[in-house]
Chain A
């Protein structure tokens, strides 16, 4: 056994875990020290840097086949770590501002990130479960951070109960798959796949568990309440990093444990769920007045778009999903970041879209950035959201799922209305009463600006000369080759 090699393979996760421990120690000696923030930032940045180095390597296994690393896994790690890093950047100021600053939050973020990294690199159902639970338990705590308000408690309790419920499904599915194949290794399950009742039942329960976690309709009920009750910058973290990790684990299972064969037609299941999710998520989002809830329903709809890529069941589809998650992380952290900024201003409940009237001119950078993120979420070129949607729908069309692509496109046409609505209030309507917005910190402004620039840059990057992200993904994106 090559312990050093194993640790090296999981180095980003090791870094975040150790940093989490350090944060706890520091916090116990010195309450609410700014040091915690810097430890978190440096460790996440280091982990991100290491993941980026591994982008152009091939997929490999570590820990006796319990984990995979390199190539697409590194890409996944990049998404998770970037989501975490950007969320942390905006959290420092925000959490202090709303009076719920606890140093432990950073420890929770770091531990959750470790769980996500394990989840997104799992090659064994045991690792998958371990990663998922490490992540979820930290998230349950964070959901209830605003403990003195009803919404915070509701958010945490709902998340915990439904999360535990869905984990039950997942675990039951895993048990049945183990019963059917005699192994928990994901590629070995794939090799021993059959269509007997046990295997099918296990697959079904596993799918339900995953669909719960990614908040696909009809398993989405928890999402809006949890997103609303959680501190907004942490919602950004929930909506991006945790979702990305779960989706990546979903890809690992679909591509390596569940071969597409007669009698095991999960593509059809995912297509149907995807259509329901896109249509339902978008329609409910149309009538939301609370921006946070609107973004929650929009994230449900986006889960539907991602499912389009998964349903395609091709390498192209999986690469498209990875890119989509990347795009989604950039624009969603950004959108939640700006919402979090508006929310902190005194006077009105700025989560209500009507109260945003005329604010776009007040702090121009914030208004313009939010417009960029919303246009990107709506999938308007030349922004990154368009590129993501393009790849996903192209994968579906190439897999001859044209109906699915058409539904997706129409659903996203409808979605434009509620994204535009926010901008209608920001720019087209006069403010109700004179409102003075506070000036955000330089770090906050910088983070939002960088995210907006990234959203624009990766929207045109494919057309620029040189190797782009998608090229790297395509060269090293061999998810479908099972490794033993």
Chain B
């Protein structure tokens, strides 16, 4: 199984030389499709063989040697409750993405397919890596194919969009790199035994290792900046609408379904267990940004004239929910956040695919160019409707599960200690219904006024085929979510308990230390002392 995990990660990479060697364009597409399908099939045993009860421990672990005696940086990959579903989502999206651009991309096809496959390997690697440096390497590696995907195969404003996307993301992750190196030395010193540096997640997140309060603040901010840009959380979202609008369909789908998740995933995986105190103290502030993002994203989405831009802004809004759930820090909300990441991948991925399909036919995405399509394209209408309803959280579909858990958890969150967040966030759900359904109504219903739309043909077999798996999962998660939430439940519970215990330990330690005034005040160090005294 360990080998299988490695095979799944690197199989797409192996497809690249094949694609470059073969001269026939059609065979190239088939090879890419086959490679991604095999990758997906090969990843299924990982899901079925996953030990759900022990989701807190990394499984199928591959542990390489240290790069140096004293430097504990190593190739360390494995799956646990936090990354399993995202990993599976990535392998599922692989063939769908290749199929989505079957006929629409003709320019430099070999390069295009190679970039998609490279992106697949990078995304799988980043989710599976449990060493922070290896994580960082895959994290950055995923930028390169996306840079070319948007830059070469994107729309008219592609160059600006891709450069902005690249530099924005890189800026955040470089700041994280400094924090990462500092953390590594700090942890290495704590580990002892000749080790001076370690970025092993298992050690960093364990209760043996704690970070001091002052360091936690800076390190949390450095890490959170990188992840918030990636999410993107308001006000770091400005690169997203550009990148999404200009990217080719496949690029948008991967960006929305997979790459944005790296941000929210990083917050849970790294910020919570390593910097628990900072995580908890900053939680209300992050929640404010998340709620602003939810409402702002929805309001901006409402006035968009371009369907793709509308979906892009809806992403800002939906990911605000995920961040809100993560920082609420109770099992319900965090579980909701994890399942919502998958949901967003499925429904927004499907929406981008659908927008791509209509764009392929009409070469426009402007709402005003459409109207009355429902008569011409019945299957398309059904698919579009399902995706939209999933996205706005209709009960019975996946979106409802995630949003309900998040709102429920945030409402009772001790960290927020304020029901306003959940209440305000709920308006986001209402707004989502407004902008999505309003758009749907303008595009699909009403009289068919534009004569150009007369010639539209309904979805073909390929297009239906690539949407069907997504629709199945939308219903499956919506009707029986426990099939999916079970994977992360044990780990999330453990993680939250461990982090809370760790934060108390850090506070206790801090009482005996000289701290700068602001730190003591920010973390309520003196108060915790009295609390501890009162419990005694």
A interface, CB within 8 angstroms of B: 361, 375, 380-382, 386, 390, 393-394, 397-398, 402, 405-406, 409-410, 412-413, 416-417, 420-421, 423-424, 427-429, 462-466, 468, 470-471, 474
Complex partner residue of B177 from A361, A375, A409, A420, CB under 8 angstroms? A409
Give chain A's interface secondary structure class.
helix
A390: chain B residues at CB < 8 Å are 133, 177, 181
Measured CB to CB, the closest approach of chain B to A310, in angstroms, equals: 18
B73: chain A residues at CB < 8 Å are 462-463
Q: Does B140 contact A394, Cβ atoms closer than 8 Å? A: no
Q: Does A380 contact B108, Cβ atoms closer than 8 Å? A: no
A465: chain B residues at CB < 8 Å are 64-65
B74: chain A residues at CB < 8 Å are 463
Q: Which of B144, B163, B174 has the most CB of A within 10 A?
A: B174
Q: Does B151 contact A381, Cβ atoms closer than 8 Å? A: no
B75: chain A residues at CB < 8 Å are 463
Q: Tell me if B148 counts as interface (CB < 8 A to partner A).
A: yes
Per the bound structure, the CA–CA distance linking A27 and B376 in Å amounts to 81
Q: Does A397 contact B178, Cβ atoms closer than 8 Å? A: yes
Q: Does B159 contact A428, Cβ atoms closer than 8 Å? A: yes
Measured CB to CB, the closest approach of chain B to A467, in angstroms, equals: 9
Complex partner residue of A409 from B108, B147, B152, B178, CB under 8 angstroms? B178
Q: Does B182 contact A397, Cβ atoms closer than 8 Å? A: yes
Complex partner residue of B64 from A375, A381, A463, CB under 8 angstroms? A463
Per the bound structure, the CA–CA distance linking A413 and B177 in Å amounts to 12
Q: Does B144 contact A375, Cβ atoms closer than 8 Å? A: yes
Q: Does B141 contact A382, Cβ atoms closer than 8 Å? A: yes
B162: chain A residues at CB < 8 Å are 428
Complex partner residue of B152 from A382, A420, A428, A466, CB under 8 angstroms? A428
Contacts A397-B185, A405-B181, A427-B152 given; does A420 touch B163 at CB 8 Å: yes
Q: Does B68 contact A470, Cβ atoms closer than 8 Å? A: yes
Measured CB to CB, the closest approach of chain A to B422, in angstroms, equals: 37
Q: Which of A410, A423, A428 has the most CB of B within 10 A?
A: A428
Residue of B nearest to A397 (CB): B181
Q: Does A393 contact B65, Cβ atoms closer than 8 Å? A: no
A474: chain B residues at CB < 8 Å are 68
Q: Mark B164-187, 1 if CB is under 8 A from A, else 0.
A: 001100110011011001101100
Q: Does A420 contact B68, Cβ atoms closer than 8 Å? A: no
Q: Does A413 contact B178, Cβ atoms closer than 8 Å? A: no
Contacts A413-B167, A428-B159, A462-B67 given; does A381 touch B140 at CB 8 Å: yes
Q: Tell me if B134 counts as interface (CB < 8 A to partner A).
A: yes
Complex partner residue of B137 from A361, A382, A410, CB under 8 angstroms? A382
Complex partner residue of A420 from B166, B182, B184, CB under 8 angstroms? B166
- List 7 A-B pairs, Cβ < 8 Å: A381-B141, A390-B177, A393-B177, A394-B185, A397-B178, A402-B178, A410-B175
Q: Does B144 contact A413, Cβ atoms closer than 8 Å? A: no
Top-9 shortest CB links A-B: A381-B137, A462-B67, A428-B151, A409-B174, A413-B171, A397-B181, A381-B140, A394-B181, A413-B174
A423: chain B residues at CB < 8 Å are 147, 151
Q: Does A413 contact B68, Cβ atoms closer than 8 Å? A: no
Residue of B nearest to A405 (CB): B178
A380: chain B residues at CB < 8 Å are 140-141, 143-144, 170
Measured CB to CB, the closest approach of chain B to A278, in angstroms, equals: 13
A464: chain B residues at CB < 8 Å are 64
Q: Does B178 contact A428, Cβ atoms closer than 8 Å? A: no
A420: chain B residues at CB < 8 Å are 147, 163, 166-167
Contacts A405-B181, A413-B167, A463-B134 given; does A427 touch B68 at CB 8 Å: no
B167: chain A residues at CB < 8 Å are 413, 416-417, 420
Per the bound structure, the CA–CA distance linking A429 and B151 in Å amounts to 9
Per the bound structure, the CA–CA distance linking A273 and B170 in Å amounts to 25
Q: Tell me if B158 counts as interface (CB < 8 A to partner A).
A: yes
Per the bound structure, the CA–CA distance linking A412 and B68 in Å amounts to 26
Q: Does B178 contact A386, Cβ atoms closer than 8 Å? A: no
A412: chain B residues at CB < 8 Å are 174
Residue of B nearest to A466 (CB): B65
Q: Tell me if B136 counts as interface (CB < 8 A to partner A).
A: yes
A462: chain B residues at CB < 8 Å are 67, 73
Measured CB to CB, the closest approach of chain A to B68, in angstroms, equals: 6
Measured CB to CB, the closest approach of chain A to B522, in angstroms, equals: 20
Tally chain B residues at the interface, Cβ within 8 Å: 39
Per the bound structure, the CA–CA distance linking A409 and B171 in Å amounts to 8
Measured CB to CB, the closest approach of chain B to A221, in angstroms, equals: 29
Q: B residues 97-151 with Cβ under 8 Å of A?
A: 108, 133-134, 136-137, 140-141, 143-144, 147-148, 151
Q: B residues 323-347 with Cβ under 8 Å of A?
A: none
Q: Does A406 contact B108, Cβ atoms closer than 8 Å? A: no
Q: Does A463 contact B67, Cβ atoms closer than 8 Å? A: yes
Measured CB to CB, the closest approach of chain A to B534, in angstroms, equals: 39
Q: Does A424 contact B163, Cβ atoms closer than 8 Å? A: yes
B178: chain A residues at CB < 8 Å are 393, 397, 402, 405-406, 409
Given A398-B196, A420-B166, 19 more A-B residue pairs with CB atoms under 8 Å apart are: A381-B136, A382-B137, A390-B177, A393-B177, A394-B181, A397-B178, A397-B182, A409-B175, A409-B177, A409-B178, A420-B147, A424-B151, A424-B163, A427-B151, A428-B152, A428-B162, A463-B134, A470-B67, A471-B68
Per the bound structure, the CA–CA distance linking A420 and B137 in Å amounts to 19
B196: chain A residues at CB < 8 Å are 398
Measured CB to CB, the closest approach of chain B to A156, in angstroms, equals: 37
Measured CB to CB, the closest approach of chain B to A23, in angstroms, equals: 41
Q: Does A417 contact B163, Cβ atoms closer than 8 Å? A: yes
Per the bound structure, the CA–CA distance linking A402 and B182 in Å amounts to 8
Residue of A nearest to B176 (CB): A409
Q: Does A361 contact B163, Cβ atoms closer than 8 Å? A: no
Q: Does B174 contact A398, Cβ atoms closer than 8 Å? A: no
A427: chain B residues at CB < 8 Å are 148, 151-152
Per the bound structure, the CA–CA distance linking A380 and B133 in Å amounts to 13
Q: Mark B448-492, 1 if CB is under 8 A from A, else 0.
A: 000000000000000000000000000000000000000000000
Residue of B nearest to A378 (CB): B170
Measured CB to CB, the closest approach of chain B to A288, in angstroms, equals: 16
Per the bound structure, the CA–CA distance linking A423 and B150 in Å amounts to 13
Complex partner residue of A361 from B68, B69, B108, CB under 8 angstroms? B108
B147: chain A residues at CB < 8 Å are 420, 423
A375: chain B residues at CB < 8 Å are 144
B65: chain A residues at CB < 8 Å are 465-466
Residue of B nearest to A409 (CB): B174
Q: Does A393 contact B141, Cβ atoms closer than 8 Å? A: no
Measured CB to CB, the closest approach of chain B to A324, in angstroms, equals: 15
Residue of A nearest to B143 (CB): A380
Per the bound structure, the CA–CA distance linking A466 and B66 in Å amounts to 9
Measured CB to CB, the closest approach of chain B to A189, in angstroms, equals: 31
Per the bound structure, the CA–CA distance linking A118 and B163 in Å amounts to 44
Per the bound structure, the CA–CA distance linking A471 and B69 in Å amounts to 8
Measured CB to CB, the closest approach of chain A to B115, in angstroms, equals: 11
Per the bound structure, the CA–CA distance linking A424 and B150 in Å amounts to 11
A413: chain B residues at CB < 8 Å are 167, 170-171, 174
Measured CB to CB, the closest approach of chain A to B183, in angstroms, equals: 10
Residue of B nearest to A428 (CB): B151
Measured CB to CB, the closest approach of chain A to B467, in angstroms, equals: 31
Residue of A nearest to B175 (CB): A409
Per the bound structure, the CA–CA distance linking A394 and B196 in Å amounts to 12
Per the bound structure, the CA–CA distance linking A463 and B69 in Å amounts to 13
B175: chain A residues at CB < 8 Å are 406, 409-410
Q: Which of B148, B170, B175 has the most CB of A within 10 A?
A: B170
Per the bound structure, the CA–CA distance linking A427 and B144 in Å amounts to 13
A428: chain B residues at CB < 8 Å are 151-152, 158-159, 162
A424: chain B residues at CB < 8 Å are 151, 159, 163
Q: B residues 61-106 with Cβ under 8 Å of A?
A: 64-65, 67-69, 73-75
Per the bound structure, the CA–CA distance linking A405 and B75 in Å amounts to 25
Per the bound structure, the CA–CA distance linking A386 and B152 in Å amounts to 25
Q: Does A416 contact B67, Cβ atoms closer than 8 Å? A: no
A386: chain B residues at CB < 8 Å are 137, 140
A397: chain B residues at CB < 8 Å are 178, 181-182, 185
